[in-house]
Amino acid sequence: MLTAVIALSALALVSSLLLAMVARAFAVPSNPKVEEIEGALPGANCGGCGLPGCGELARRIADGKADIDSCPVGGERVAQMIALIMGKSYAGGLVRKVAFILCGGDDQVAAKRFYYNGVRDCTSAAILFGGDKACQYGCMGLGTCEGVCPFDAMHMLPTGLPEVEPVKCTACGKCVAACPKHIIKLVPVDKRLHILCSSHDRGAKVRKICAVGCIGCTKCVKEGPEGAIAMQNNLAVVNYDFDIPDTVAAVCPMNTIRAISLDGSGDNAGVKAAAGGGV
């Protein structure tokens, strides 16, 4: 009995000494700001910022790799607290973001490769040869995003694409994470110009399978302000930091670029008609 007690105490002592020595020898200088920022963040680890958790976002912000207003849940209040910690000024006026589907290829304009008759769920469909759409980047229209939306802001249209109600959307990012094609993005609500395509296929292929896909002609890049639209691997991508005039939409030969008012300050009727309801 006594031997056992002594032996265990000795072992515990030795291992704790070892741990203490190792902890000292391999100490990693940590940025104290990380902890402060993590304290300021909501701590729900919801993943709304697109990162695994609040800790990861705090690390990115402290390293200057993420913006101080990256947390969509905390909003302006948290952004101001983080600005204080980081010694930056925060001008306020955080523009609300809403989810937006970067695909215009509904059932009328985009081809399908086969008839999918499985579980009515995008994740499930994506496992099977990447879905039934001929375009491997396009929306499969099975409504997984509609199902995960906790705010009833997302609805499937009969044409096979989901539609976001900007008024109800809180940019929680659930649909962004749920979409197996990664074509839902959070966009600033005050920006009007969007490119409704996520396809990185070459122009010739896009032309064959989708009537409204980006063919990578770069016309919009030249028409828009410098740096506002960039080509990324055969796809024109809008940089939402810029204000792009609506007229740029007119140069797109495929009608992929559309001027859409998300905050209800303009007329969308014409746009919807042109897109076949695919917005």
Partner 1 sequence: MKTLILIIVSAVFVNNFVLSRFLGICPFLGVSKRIKTAGGMSAAVIFVMTMASAATWLFYSHVLVRFHLEYLQTVTFILVIAALVQVVETVLLKMSPTLYRALGIYLPLITTNCAVLGVAVLNIQKQYNLIQTTVFGFGAAVGFGFAMMIFSGIRERMELCDTPVPLKGTAIGLVTAGLLSLAFMGFTGLVKQ
- Answer yes or no: are the C-beta atoms of 85 and 78 closer than 8 Å: no
Report the residue number, 26 or 115, with the smaller CB distance to partner 1.
26
Report the residue number, 7 or 44, with the smaller CB distance to partner 1.
7
Cβ of residue 67: shortest distance to partner 1, in angstroms? 22
Cβ of residue 122: shortest distance to partner 1, in angstroms? 9
Cβ of residue 4: shortest distance to partner 1, in angstroms? 6
Taking CA atoms, 111 is separated from 65, 211, 221, in Å, by: 40, 9, 27
- Answer yes or no: are the C-beta atoms of 105 and 213 closer than 8 Å: yes
- Subset of 116-145 contacting partner 1 (CB under 8 A): 119, 121, 123-124, 127
The DSSP line for 106-129 is: -TTTB-BSS---S-S-HHHHHHTT
The answer to whether 3 contacts partner 1 (rule: CB under 8 A) is yes
- Subset of 15-74 contacting partner 1 (CB under 8 A): 15-16, 18-19, 22-23, 26-28
**Which two structure tokens, joined as six digits, stand for 154?**
């997302």
- Subset of 82-121 contacting partner 1 (CB under 8 A): 119, 121
- Answer yes or no: are the C-beta atoms of 140 and 184 closer than 8 Å: no
- Subset of 205-234 contacting partner 1 (CB under 8 A): none
Contacts with partner 1, 7-26, as mask; x by CB under 8 A: xx--xx--xx-xx--xx--x
**Which two structure tokens, joined as six digits, stand for 190?**
């005050």
**CB environment 242-278: b (16+ within 10 A), e (fewer):** eebeeebbeebebbbbbbbbbeeeeeeeebbeebbeb
The whole-angstrom separation of Cα 36 and Cα 58 is: 8
How many residues form the binding site for partner 1 (CB under 8 A)? Answer: 20
Cβ of residue 8: shortest distance to partner 1, in angstroms? 6
By the criterion CB under 8 A, which residues form the site for partner 1? 3-4, 7-8, 11-12, 15-16, 18-19, 22-23, 26-28, 119, 121, 123-124, 127
